[in-house]
Amino acid sequence: MTNEDYSFQTRLLHNSHKIDPATGAVSVPIQHASTYHQADIDQFGKYDYSRSLNPTREALEDVIAELEGGVKGFAFASGMAAISTAFLLLSAGDHVVITEDVYGGTFRMVTEVLTRLGIEHTFVDMTNLEEVRQAVRPNTKAFYVETPSNPLLKVTDIRAVSELAKETGALTFVDNTFLTPALQRPLELGADIVLHSATKFLAGHSDVVAGLAVVKDEALAARLGFLQNSFGAVLGVQDAWLVLRGLKTLHVRLLQSQQSAVKIAHFLDAHPLVRNVYYPGLGHHPQHALQKLEAQGPGAVLSFELEDEEALRTFVSHVKIPVFAVSLGAVESILSYPAKMSHAAMPPEDRRKRGISDSLLRLSVGLENPDDLIADFEQAFSYTKAGTTVK
């Protein structure tokens, strides 16, 4: 049996870095050295300088590549560093077709930085393949997918977009932060590069900022490796170790949180003060069937809309269990307000166009007992006068 024959759950623990070959240690050693003595004047060893390669960071890069089914992984100082470095694969004059309800930081990178470098973009509703097709130009070099999307949890057909990208001669980038390889493996569906904010579910404890990228083939690995070393936004070794530790419990954390998210989504969906619930695990979600086809589960993030901003303010001021914060994918539940947090970088008219209203909340379900969360939400709702919302 090779490691690939084991289930994902087992491979989180039983992988190429389970045991340190030098000592037998069952945790990857943290190698702080920035430089490495070379025994030969003509031939350097595998490691020479830690920006280029460091054994601790390399362990994380190997493990994420194994988990995503790619040839090589790369660890960066943040999710945005991973995403921005991947965008450097493009050159002036190139064009990107990108999902319209993309992470706010990615929106900022594309609209305010790439434009200055002469890289063009078109925002599309990635769930509408006809619209995606029509956005293609002769200079289209990349399709940028984030699925499920943030914060409206729209689901993109990764297989179909990757096929279109191949016909176009373009690369497909997929931000897999929300589902992780535990639930969705974009490379198997045809994507070329998987990107992660490892700050979220992969590390999972709201105690580290990190980014990862995984590529499907060796040629792309060489190009991205060159950019990682040139741009230099690499992940530090302590942080690499924290992500490696978090990864070991990814499967149990995500499955438990997902199970709770399903329960909470149904509770919210039936609640008279909730206008809309956006969660691919609900039968009425427009891409519920597609989500089942391309992912192993709907994940643990959902969004819901209240009647108006006042109802939202009342709810948020009375809710006790979730932290009210940016970010997601942690052991504690996190309630966030996209209009003022993750999507604050997006102009209000763009937000409105995308359906990110001022009464929308996003919930990342953690590991608390879901019944406690539901009771907490119920008491917070009780401060809003019943009857102000008609469903």
Q: Which positions lie near ligand PLP, rule CB under 6 A?
A: 78-80, 103, 105, 146, 150, 175, 177, 197, 199-200, 209, 211
- Our CB check for ligand PLP shows the closer of 197 and 228 to be 197
Is 340 among the residues known to form the active site?
no
- Our CB check for ligand PLP shows the closer of 61 and 146 to be 146
Is 313 among the residues known to form the active site?
no
- Beta carbon of residue 204, minimum distance to ligand PLP (angstroms, whole number): 13
- Beta carbon of residue 363, minimum distance to ligand PLP (angstroms, whole number): 14
Is 137 among the residues known to form the active site?
no
- Non-local CB neighbours of 230 within 8 Å, separated by 6+ positions: none
The residue count of the chain comes to 391
- Our CB check for ligand PLP shows the closer of 18 and 340 to be 340
Catalytic entry in 11, 72, 101, 103? 103
Is 350 among the residues known to form the active site?
no
Catalytic entry in 94, 101, 157, 175? 175
- Beta carbon of residue 234, minimum distance to ligand PLP (angstroms, whole number): 14
- Beta carbon of residue 240, minimum distance to ligand PLP (angstroms, whole number): 14
- Our CB check for ligand PLP shows the closer of 273 and 328 to be 328
Name the strands in the sheet holding 334-336, side by side, starting at the edge strand that comes first in the sequence: 274-278, 301-306, 360-364, 334-336, 323-324
- Beta carbon of residue 227, minimum distance to ligand PLP (angstroms, whole number): 17
Catalytic entry in 51, 108, 159, 248? 51
Catalytic entry in 57, 154, 200, 351? 200
- Our CB check for ligand PLP shows the closer of 54 and 197 to be 197
- Our CB check for ligand PLP shows the closer of 172 and 314 to be 172
- Beta carbon of residue 25, minimum distance to ligand PLP (angstroms, whole number): 28
CA 290 to chain centre: 19
Active site (catalytic) residues: 51, 103, 175, 200
